[in-house]
Chain A
Amino acid sequence: MVESMSFLDHFQIWLRAYLILSLFSFLYKDNPFYKLSEHIFAGLSAGYYVGLIWQSVILQQLINPMFDGGQWWLVFPGILGILMFTRLSRNYSWISRVSLAFVIGNTAGIYLVSELHGKAIRQIWATMIPLDGGSGAASTILALIVITGVISTLVYFYFSKEHKGLMGATAKIGIWFIMISFGAHFGYTVMGRISLLIGRIEFLYYDWGGSLLSIF
């Protein structure tokens, strides 16, 4: 497969390998190769986003439907969008609040339903579990752990009463649950970061190594 690669394929692999090794070189110390790769990434991302927004929002969702599809009412959201640019002027920046008010109101309305209906209520409901779950002692123990964890963690975050006596003891149990949660998050984060490293080293070993072998 490697032997059948074109010059362009080899060029792409070598360019990727150069950028990866340049970025990894920062682990030794800061250097011009790292800085160049970092700036290329920042510049490319910014350019890509500008092109993307122009194509997928301005053209596809505003100009084309207006002029080709006859949806003239889109002129109103278009004006709201243009008003956002008044933030660049010190004297007229207040006008952009009209657009912001629309965005905030709209977002709050949409998210209120999804957060409440899709998350808060369903998650509260999931903690209201029967102690006799049907699978014997194991499900009862698990249910007790869930209930203890939820209550003690909530107590830890209740700051209107001093954490003393029963309140303090429950909050301490809550800390244990929070710490175990942090541990799980940290372990998974390490695994995630190592996975990214594996991905890059696999590329260097198999793809770049394959390209090297086929050339020399």
Chain B
Amino acid sequence: MASFWDNIQNIDRRWIYLLVAGAVLFPMIFVANFPIELTPESLQLYNAIDALPDSCAVMLTFDYYPSALAETEPMSVAALRHMFRKNMKVVTISNIPLGGPSIAERVTREIAKEYGKEYGVDYVNLGYKYGYVAVMHGLAGSIERIFPADNTGNLLRDLPLMQTVKNYDNIKFIYVVADNATLEYWISIVNAQYGIPVGGGVTAVMAPKMYAFVESGQMIGLLGGMKGAAEYERLLGILGTATRGMNSQSMVHLVIIFLVIIGNVGFFFSRQDKGKRNG
């Protein structure tokens, strides 16, 4: 007859899925607030944006697919709030065809409305253009040559903001929010070859790789996944979706740690039981 520990070893994985789903839901139903500690990388990014002169022009990228919204959208929202608070002029761009341009359109318009910002004067959404390596090089010469029109078809020559923002020379900082390799190209092309400071937020899967670029000074600050977004929200003093999501995240991590411990203890005990049974 199988022992308790044998049963633990062979538990139907669907029970684990249910347990994880319950752990995600629990803090939503019974509001829990886990503390969010700041990392030096998120503080570095916040300070870099904060140190920029008010009303300067910055670029914010929406290089992510809708599948990564839970991690990346809070970063974009927090970045926009920070930039609009400082009355910065924001040029948004997307190197991702599926989702990026429409997410940029929706998010920028929503946040701009809160801060009373006007399209074409305070912010412009360039949209998407195929071939991001060529686009990144091309923007150094002339933004208007690469994007004759914005995301909704307005000619750039008719937008007041784009009369002063002609190329990288007029952009003080590039804030990349990405769920793929485009951030590496912003670093290796735009930062390395054109000297524009780059900072960014990425999905948790990408974060470990990107720390190397922060250490080498090629990137100013880094937000890693939902945790990074929650840290930025804390720095701005806002209670956003990432902060709310981190409660569920912490609860699931506790469940995972518990399962790892139970799984390992079960493994050793069931091996011991088998040893005893075999004499």
Contacts and interface: CB of A to CB of B under 8 A. Distances in A.
A60 B127 CA distance: 13
Nearest to A186: B208
A124 to B, nearest CB: 9
Q: DSSP majority for the A interface?
A: helix
B193 A117 contact: yes
A117 B130 contact: no
B224 A188 contact: yes
Interface in B119-175: 128-130, 133, 137
Interface string A177-191: 000010011001111
B184 A195 contact: no
B249 A126 contact: no
A48 B70 CA distance: 22
B56 interface: no
Contacts of A52: 97, 130
20 contacts: A27-B17, A49-B98, A52-B97, A56-B129, A110-B133, A111-B133, A118-B187, A118-B189, A118-B193, A123-B216, A125-B216, A126-B215, A188-B204, A188-B207, A188-B208, A191-B249, A195-B249, A196-B67, A201-B21, A201-B28
Indicate the size class of the contact surface on chain B: 35 or more
Interface in B23-52: 24-25, 28
Interface of A: 27-28, 45, 48-49, 52-53, 56-57, 60-61, 110-111, 113-115, 117-119, 122-123, 125-126, 181, 184-185, 188-192, 194-202, 205-206
B216 to A, nearest CB: 3
- Residue from the set A57, A122, A185 with the largest chain B CB neighbour count within 10 Å: A122
Interface of B: 14, 17, 20-21, 24-25, 28, 67-71, 97-98, 128-130, 133, 137, 184-185, 187-189, 191-193, 203-205, 207-209, 212, 215-218, 224-227, 241, 244-245, 248-249, 252-253, 256
A65 to B, nearest CB: 9
Contacts of B193: 113-114, 117-118
Given A61-B130, A188-B207, A202-B70, A194 B97 contact: no
A188 B69 contact: no
Contact of A194 (B25, B69, B252): B252
Contact of B188 (A49, A114, A192, A206): A114
